[in-house]
Chains A and B, each alone.
Chain A
Amino acid sequence: MAETTLEHAAPVAPRPPGLRGIAADWSSDQRAFKNVSWGKAMMWIFLLSDTFIFGCFLLSYMTARMSTTVPWPNPSEVFALHLFGSDIPLILIAIMTFVLISSSGTMAMAVNFGYRHDRRKTAVLMLVTAALGATFVGMQAFEWTKLITEGVRPWGNPWGAVQFGSSFFMITGFHGTHVTIGVIFLLITARKVWRGDFEAGARGFFTSRRGQYESVEIMGLYWHFVDLVWVFIFAFFYLW
């Protein structure tokens, strides 16, 4: 990400608070969002677009679930694990959710240490975040395997509406893909932090722009978004 804020620029005049400030920003020149770099603005707008994708997926699933004329499989039974001699509903999902939300915590800490230019702690915390993300994907793979062995397919399942399997695989798969992509980019960014690329302003292999610690925060925006989406999937798919 290029440095988009001038280091030696004249300080921006203080803006009036509240709505007048927003109006002042939007009627000013150069930038509508003062002190927001290009990279961050781009990630926010991308996340807005991605919100619409997940929104469409979830709305379609809810439409299918509400309009089906055959019973919808009961989530507390389908997603139960048989542990210690009894069926515990939603135990796996509870652990997965805990893991993913914890990873948001480590990500936030990584961003904090990134801005303090603490290379080692930033990289370690990003690696922990990546490990928690990978754990989440692993548990999702376990859940998929369990459901597939029980006979759930995109075209049918033993308990009811055929849309159950297809919606489940599609939505959790799309989310899992997001987590996987996040893990890959976490590893790449952690490596750059570890090597000191952001200290030295080393140029990106593809973009040839100087790296900087802001990449950690932009990575964090994406990661928190993926977590937030999971909360909605959890609520609408498993708790409904």
Chain B
Amino acid sequence: MVDVTPHGADFIPAAEVAEVELYHPHSWWTRYVFSQDAKVIAIQYAGTALSIGLVALVLSWLMRLKLGFPDTFASISPDMYYQFMTMHGMIMVIYLLTALFLGGFGNYLIPLMVGARDMVFPYVNMLSYWIYLLAVLVLVGSFFAPGGPTGAGWTLYPPQAITSGTPGGQDWGIILMLVSLILFIIGFTMGGLNYVVTVLQGRTRGMTLMRLPLTVWGIFTATVMALLAFPALFVACVMMLFDRAIGSSFFMPAIVEMGANPLPHDGGSPIMFQHLFWFFGHPEVYIVALPAFGIVSDLISTHARKNIFGYRMMVWAIVSIGALSFVVWAHHMYVSGMHPYFGFFFATTTLIIAIPTAIKVYNWVLTLWRGDIHLTIPMLFALSFIVTFVNGGLTGLFLGNVVVDVPLSDTMFVVAHFHMVMGVAPIMVVFGAIYHWYPKITGRMLNEAMGRFHFWVTFIGTYLIFFPMHYVGLVGVPRRYPELGDTAFVPPSVHTLNAFITVAALVVGFAQMVFLFNLLWSIRHGRPAGDNPWRATTLEWQTAGTPPPHGNFGKELPVVYRWAYDYSVPGAPEDFIAQNDPRPLTQGGPA
């Protein structure tokens, strides 16, 4: 057992922080709607994120139908395809994954795991959700605006994003998109400040930073990154909004539209937008990935009944991945052109990230090594995450090199790569985490049979979707094309594969409906879970009741005596020792 605190297990430090006066709700409205309780806010965040994510899922089916069966679905025009693609990407990356990991899991787990009554500023936390909801509503509104949503691609590259050839470019679409992003960033900042200050300044007695569960480390680091990366997107959105709405020329060069119509812009730099966007965009990949890394570490340790291998190394890997991800952004811009030395620099930094990432993968595998592995549903999802993430990460090594990236960049290979590494892999963790913490949130287990069906169809199905896509990309099929037509270099087998991928995507989509049904069905009909169904060590499983009451813990906040990974300690009567278990190992306690 490794404990990295300077004192023995029997040392109880004095309380430095006074008990917080919580806001106590007086009515149904302040209890369930305008609630200041982080747990309610978390469920609101998660519900909104999953709902808008469902829209993005449906959009992906429509895209796949067009790609797989272009003649049958001729009614899906190229413009509509681009709109679906843009909205699918933007929703999945920002409004689903970012909001769900940080706003959903962050809100629910941070106060419980660090032993706090609530976030440090519950009122600001509540505002964060309502501004996020407003951002989502503006985004949804763009579907009903004249001209429809923007079809600029999720990267919104100018000049095409605001010219009239692009859907929504000269209509409402792009304006609503930019306004929605600005709102999202404002709302996120309010929540993010809460998460960071709660972790740094609001922990309970005995909870040192090096005793935090890795889930909290992942969410915390991702939030710090988001607070430093979203400003670049904010500035880019403001500037593009000015270019589009009042005719400035930040990103717009002198340009002729549709071959005849000169636009009133002059001297702007589209490349500048790319720099701002990817200074946000690359950290964003890790904003999604780091919480997943943290959560999956806890799932593996809990369900393999074994302490996490190399805890400190895991923490430093999370922190160094977070820091490195700020100096790799231009690897998304190799094809935009840059000085060769810059390409060299960004390729090198990109490949260096593989080192801490590989450390994490090895540590997960070594945690499993000779563990008492329970193949529960959360564990299945955690294992599938490792496989999928390694797969997507390896193709990332290809694409990080300039000479390999340039021919592959505009092909389906890139689509396959980033769906594996930042689409499927984090979503697997989202599912695993929901199966893991649903019993704490509702008091009931999710249905096992539906869960296993959901897992196997999703896991195998996503491989059937994205593995062939690598080959489609390697033969040179370009991405962003709604249909291929009769193109000489595309062999007929590609069309067969495309149809196959579409069918697989629809099947996987059906499995998600089963999952959503399970979420609703198990609230009433699930097996009662008890306080600690997984026999886990972390504080959220030691609460006074399930679901945890307002204020999380009873009269007294828990005192933490040990790290979060005391599983299968030799000699202990049970195979786990909770973090707030005061019995020292040497005095006839658990040892």
Contacts and interface: CB of A to CB of B under 8 A. Distances in A.
A12 B431 CA distance: 43
A166 B240 CA distance: 11
Contacts of B232: 52, 56
A36 B200 CA distance: 11
Contacts of B268: 64, 163
B320 interface: no
A86 interface: no
Contacts of A188: none
A128 B178 CA distance: 38
Interface in B257-296: 264-269, 272, 276, 279
A52 B269 contact: no
Interface in B223-280: 227-228, 230-232, 234-236, 238-239, 242, 246-250, 264-269, 272, 276, 279
Interface size class of B (residues with CB under 8 A): 35 or more
B250 A64 contact: yes
A41 B207 contact: no
B447 interface: no
Contact of A60 (B21, B122, B239): B239
A67 B205 CA distance: 55
Interface in A1-35: 2-7, 9-10, 12, 26-34
B249 A30 contact: no
A138 to B, nearest CB: 24
Contact of A69 (B4, B267, B272): B267
Given A41-B197, A166-B248, A207-B23, A30 B18 contact: no
Interface in A56-85: 56-57, 60, 63-64, 67-70
Contacts of B209: 26-27, 32
Given A30-B204, A170-B238, A42 B267 contact: no
A207 B122 CA distance: 8
B269 A63 contact: yes
Contacts of A207: 23, 121-123
A57 B236 CA distance: 9
B200 A32 contact: yes
B210 A63 contact: no
Interface string B193-207: 110110011111111
Contact of A155 (B123, B208, B231, B247): B247
A53 B200 CA distance: 23
Nearest to A161: B267
B224 to A, nearest CB: 8
B202 A38 contact: yes
A39 B25 CA distance: 23
A27 B210 contact: yes
A206 interface: yes
A30 B4 CA distance: 15
B87 to A, nearest CB: 26
B227 A49 contact: yes
A63 B15 contact: no
A48 interface: yes
B319 to A, nearest CB: 12
A154 interface: yes
B189 interface: yes
A30 B17 contact: yes
A149 interface: no
A45 B250 CA distance: 29
A45 B197 contact: yes
B264 A155 contact: yes
22 contacts: A5-B17, A7-B18, A27-B4, A29-B13, A29-B205, A29-B208, A30-B207, A31-B16, A31-B202, A38-B120, A41-B197, A45-B193, A49-B228, A49-B230, A53-B235, A56-B235, A64-B272, A155-B247, A155-B264, A162-B267, A163-B267, A170-B242
Which 3 residue pairs spanning A and B have beta carbons closest together?
A166-B248, A52-B231, A56-B235
Given A29-B13, A64-B268, A155-B247, 11 more contacts: A3-B18, A9-B14, A26-B209, A28-B13, A29-B206, A49-B228, A52-B228, A60-B272, A162-B267, A167-B250, A207-B23
